[in-house]
Homo-oligomer: A and B are copies of this chain.
Amino acid sequence: MHLILDTDIGNGIAGANTDDGLALALILASKEIKLEMISTVSGNVSNIIAYSVAKHFLKLWNLNIPVYLGANSALKEPMKPWRDRLDNSVKKQNLKSLWDTIKKPKIMKNIIPNAPLKMGELIMQNPKKISICAIGPLTNIAIAMRLFKDFDKNVKEIHIMGGSFDMPSYIKDTNFGFDPEAANIVLNSKAKIVLAPYNATMQTLLTHKDLDELENKNELCNYLIQTLRAWIYYASHTRGTKGTWIHDALSVAYMLDESIAEFDEYFVDVVCDSSLVRGLAYRVEKEPKLSLGLNLKEKRSVKVLKNINNPKLLELIKTRLLKGICYKNYKNITT
């Protein structure tokens, strides 16, 4: 399958979640997927950091997959509170030293943010052939949908990691909550969508013991382990978990093997017009018993993943990563 990866990847950056890197590694290690391009977006890290990390990642293996810079900030959401939270937590908690031994990617400058344009061109020139795996805020895809007429009808499928339904600890998540308008645009489009929400991804867990099995097996594993270990130490300290949730890589894994999760069909949306619950995701059955006030006529339902088989997921990830980078995904549409 042909794929665009839209990501706020931050592997190697102190305090940044590393599941984007795991997702990218899983893609590169899976011959079924032909990665056409990577677009980067502000989210866990800023767009330019994500761009630099992705470039750094690909350069390690001399991969010439195009990387494009995407949106610098969310459509309407004020960025200051988010950046303050996402960028500074590691300092506030005095845990920056966890990343001391990791080589930092060089942060680039003066890159043109043409990701939505490149994404749109690719989708429009190859109707219904290319899917998107969106594991950051949905800003780039929302912009592409507003620039290109019928982008939503021409994308094959969008696999999204985002949203949390009735999780009293997370009134919003860092993807939909970071850019509620973008999520609203994408979720109300005609695109075919598979959604991996927090409710599903938090049923996963990757531990140090899992990483032990990958240690010194190949360069891809070693690079990943380095950034993942720091994050697991950090996550276990700040979230009290024994490992790390596999948010983003679940979306990739489900593309590779649909048997690792079940799903329900729901109408899904994100609240934009509320002062208190802006960014809250909600889901509605296709034929709700009480739907007063909702207008569901023209909405398309979304596959929402549930009941993750974590052992199977870990097995899939390990098996692939142990084989290392798969070179066959070079001969893609664009070349």
Q: A171 contacts which of B71, B146, B173, B282 (Cβ < 8 Å)?
A: B282
The minimal Cβ–Cβ distance linking A239 to chain B, given in whole angstroms, is 7
By a CB distance below 8 angstroms, the chain B residues around A74 are 146
Q: A143 contacts which of B82, B143, B276 (Cβ < 8 Å)?
A: B143
Is B278 a contact of A293 with CB atoms below 8 Å? yes
By a CB distance below 8 angstroms, the chain B residues around A168 are 264, 266, 283-285, 288
A136 within 8 A of B: no
By a CB distance below 8 angstroms, the chain B residues around A239 are 289
Q: A166 contacts which of B70, B166, B290 (Cβ < 8 Å)?
A: B166
Residue in chain B with minimal CB distance to A304: B168
Could you list 14 A-B pairs, sorted by A, with CB under 8 Å?
A70-B147, A72-B147, A165-B166, A168-B266, A169-B285, A171-B293, A172-B293, A271-B274, A273-B273, A273-B275, A275-B293, A277-B280, A277-B293, A279-B292
> What is the 8 Å Cβ interface bit string for chain A, positions 59-98, against chain B (1 contact, 0 not)?
0000000000011111110000110010000000000000
Q: A85 contacts which of B85, B278, B292 (Cβ < 8 Å)?
A: B292
Known contacts A75-B146, A169-B290; 6 further A-B pairs (Cβ under 8 A): A113-B117, A113-B147, A116-B147, A171-B291, A177-B290, A273-B274
Majority DSSP secondary structure for residues of A touching B: loop
By a CB distance below 8 angstroms, the chain B residues around A285 are 168-169
Interfacial residues, chain A to chain B (CB-CB below 8 A): 48, 70-76, 81-82, 85, 112-114, 116-117, 120-121, 139, 142-143, 146-149, 165-166, 168-174, 177, 181, 184-185, 239, 264, 266, 269, 271-280, 282-285, 288-295
- Copies of the protein in its oligomer: 4
The minimal Cβ–Cβ distance linking A117 to chain B, given in whole angstroms, is 5
Residue in chain B with minimal CB distance to A76: B181
**Smallest CB-CB A-B distances: 10 pairs:** A166-B166, A275-B275, A273-B273, A113-B147, A274-B274, A168-B285, A72-B149, A169-B289, A170-B290, A169-B285
Q: A294 contacts which of B85, B171, B289, B291 (Cβ < 8 Å)?
A: B171
The minimal Cβ–Cβ distance linking A184 to chain B, given in whole angstroms, is 6
Q: A288 contacts which of B72, B169, B276 (Cβ < 8 Å)?
A: B169
The minimal Cβ–Cβ distance linking A146 to chain B, given in whole angstroms, is 5
The minimal Cβ–Cβ distance linking A17 to chain B, given in whole angstroms, is 13
CA distance in complex: A110, B173 (Å): 37
Given the interface pairs A166-B283, A273-B273, A293-B279, the reply to whether A72 lies near B148 with Cβ below 8 Å is: yes
